[in-house]
Structure 1
């Protein structure tokens, strides 16, 4: 029965993307089928094989060690603020982002990351039927982040047509940056974080290929990566400050969103006798059902999903940790995979703002298709969750 529901879920997701398509006759079905098969194969490899579990353990161990190193710096500056045995979210989850950001900067400076991004991007372009630029951008978004990735493409940004710009932005919203992966792993199981990272990469192309199909002329598919010339210590200072900005921004958003959600929940509870999150849970319950969540848990799951969409994934992950004991392991895995992406309303502003900072004209273009962008990125998250439901 679970497989039938998952198959129905895939059909519904692809159908919704088809309804939103701007060129239904131009959809290439073969790459889409191939990428769905790749998603299933990678999910099975990572979640159901010893080799996959070894890979995930290795990645998790690396991030655990990196977080330990990061905590050395945090403890030096903030040691004594927290009471013994306490684990403040800002100190233990957000501030380590600074150290991860520094490592990304070093790998960028040494030309290791650009080499990896170009190589993987070229390989993916052979599978997805899209251009080298789109494939590079998807991998780069995963490595450096949804706003920073456009800096590497600023030479070409001014000349990109609307349809290619949509795909670049969709990839950026459908993935998450490596700098905050460690933070996610402190709240949800690393195996689901790693699995989501991999299959979201292909999911972004699947949904974009339906909503926004086009063919790239090989003459137009020129990949020019902008690399700023800096000294090593200039780079270190820049990435330290970038990491700190991310930590502060996420922290500020959490304070605002968590407080707002608590206030709204309380008002709804007083007036209607039901919390706002429960109402959202009922609205998103059908989607949770199509993702393979058991019927008795779809309202709780729907509430978490809605929270992620209207606030961000951090708020949703915090809420998930509060109710995880009341969910089955299968539901927990499916919801966890759904949460690992930047698909939320605030990302529209982040991405359009990042593009606008480099090209005002293109930034306005992104803002105009912002809701369609969020719709597509949300479908990517739902599709990834459904793919994992086949395996769990």
Structure 2
């Protein structure tokens, strides 16, 4: 029975997102069905074969190496901080952005990244029938994270129309950052972390296609290459990249602090109305029907719904630390769907991070304002992607 409920959950999530779409007639279902089939194959490959796990570990190792390089630079500036067993979010997750942006700008300078975007995007777009840049972005943010991935393709984004820019904002809610994978692995099973990452990215494509279907003409489905006269010398390029990265760190830090503080403020007000009432508890009751549709027993439903509320109102770290203490007592299916749901940046503060990134990347107010005007779409997409990924993983773990 629970297996059938799990299957029903997939259709319910898709139906709810479709009902939220303001352009239902423009939704193309063939690419969506193709991506769902691909997801089922990917999940089977990752959870059912040893080769799948090995491939993901190799990719993860590369990004871990990038983060280690970034940490060497941070340690030079802040040796006493980086020598501590635990490092604050600012140093472990934000400051590495400076090096990651610079590294990929170097690849862009020599034409390597542009070539990769074109070729990998072509392969994914052939499967999904979606534009090249969106297809590549879904793969790129698999380990880079939303802000880093947006910064890496900022030259491509600068020439896009506003309605298409919204697609990248919506997709950005479903990523994680390679810099925090190690932190995840210290709290929850690695198998589900590495399975959730590609599923989130494919689901981001699916749900962005439903919430914000955009027609991209063949002559617009190209990778932007800056003219030679705009190309600066190598050292000017990397110096500018470092400054762009640092500017992003400052903006993102401000947004994170502000949104977490705002959540605390709201909880304080709610506590005056009713003792013990928090926004996390409110969301846990809202999410309980969806948690049940993941094929969970009633007791597990309320616990997983509580984790969902924690993640949305604060962040996935808080929820994972709670899950870590309960993992041994949870059935395999519950542990799998709970872990998979938590592996993404889908929460209120991420909306602020994306808005801050758009503000720092684009000078035009109209381009950055597209996020502020469509916050609800970002939240719906982020939550739905996590639910859909959890439901698909749940089909394979009992």
TM-score between both structures, scaled by the size of structure 2 = 0.79
Match of 1:325 in 2: 325
The question of whether the paired residues in 2 share the 8 Å contact of 1:39 and 1:199 is answered with yes
3-state DSSP of counterpart to 1:119: helix
Aligned residues: 385
CA–CA distance in structure 1, aligned partners of residues 317 and 115 of structure 2: 33
The question of whether the paired residues in 2 share the 8 Å contact of 1:291 and 1:385 is answered with yes
CA–CA distance in structure 1, aligned partners of residues 57 and 294 of structure 2: 26
3-state DSSP of counterpart to 2:130: coil
The question of whether the paired residues in 2 share the 8 Å contact of 1:151 and 1:358 is answered with no
CA–CA distance in structure 2, aligned partners of residues 204 and 353 of structure 1: 20
Match of 1:391 in 2: 396
Q: What is the correspondence of 1:72-87 to structure 2 with a 5 Å cutoff?
A: 72-80=72-80, 86-87=85-86
State the Cα deviation string for residues 77-123 of structure 1 (Å, max 9, x = none): 43445897x42334555545554444434433343333222212111
Match of 1:364 in 2: 369
The question of whether the paired residues in 2 share the 8 Å contact of 1:100 and 1:179 is answered with no
Instruction: Give the 3 Å change call, closer, same or farther, for CA 236–292 of structure 1 in structure 2.
Output: farther
The question of whether the paired residues in 1 share the 8 Å contact of 2:173 and 2:381 is answered with no
Match of 2:293 in 1: 290
State the Cα deviation string for residues 138-169 of structure 1 (Å, max 9, x = none): 34555574442562224532xx263x343333
The question of whether the paired residues in 2 share the 8 Å contact of 1:334 and 1:389 is answered with yes
1:13 Cα deviation after fit: 0.8
3-state DSSP of counterpart to 1:216: coil
CA–CA distance in structure 2, aligned partners of residues 249 and 330 of structure 1: 39
Instruction: Give the 3 Å change call, closer, same or farther, for CA 74–367 of structure 1 in structure 2.
Output: closer
Unaligned runs of 5+ in 1: none
3-state DSSP of counterpart to 1:297: helix
The question of whether the paired residues in 2 share the 8 Å contact of 1:155 and 1:226 is answered with no
3-state DSSP of counterpart to 1:291: coil
Mapped pair 1:306 → 2:305 = no
Instruction: Give the 3 Å change call, closer, same or farther, for CA 101–360 of structure 1 in structure 2.
Output: closer
1:263 Cα deviation after fit: 6.6
Match of 1:280 in 2: 283
Instruction: Give the 3 Å change call, closer, same or farther, for CA 169–259 of structure 1 in structure 2.
Output: closer
Mapped pair 1:339 → 2:342 = yes
The question of whether the paired residues in 1 share the 8 Å contact of 2:187 and 2:324 is answered with no
Match of 1:88 in 2: 87
Q: Which moved more, 1:251-260 or 1:111-120?
A: 251-260
1:24 Cα deviation after fit: 3.1
Match of 2:378 in 1: 373
Instruction: Give the 3 Å change call, closer, same or farther, for CA 259–366 of structure 1 in structure 2.
Output: closer
CA–CA distance in structure 2, aligned partners of residues 75 and 214 of structure 1: 44
CA–CA distance in structure 1, aligned partners of residues 67 and 132 of structure 2: 34
The question of whether the paired residues in 1 share the 8 Å contact of 2:316 and 2:345 is answered with no
State the Cα deviation string for residues 1-47 of structure 1 (Å, max 9, x = none): 33212211111111112212334344332222221111111112122
CA–CA distance in structure 1, aligned partners of residues 82 and 134 of structure 2: 45
The question of whether the paired residues in 2 share the 8 Å contact of 1:10 and 1:383 is answered with yes
3-state DSSP of counterpart to 1:174: coil
Instruction: Give the 3 Å change call, closer, same or farther, for CA 149–73 of structure 1 in structure 2.
Output: closer
Instruction: Give the 3 Å change call, closer, same or farther, for CA 267–9 of structure 1 in structure 2.
Output: same
CA–CA distance in structure 2, aligned partners of residues 378 and 370 of structure 1: 12
The question of whether the paired residues in 2 share the 8 Å contact of 1:308 and 1:344 is answered with yes
Match of 2:6 in 1: 6
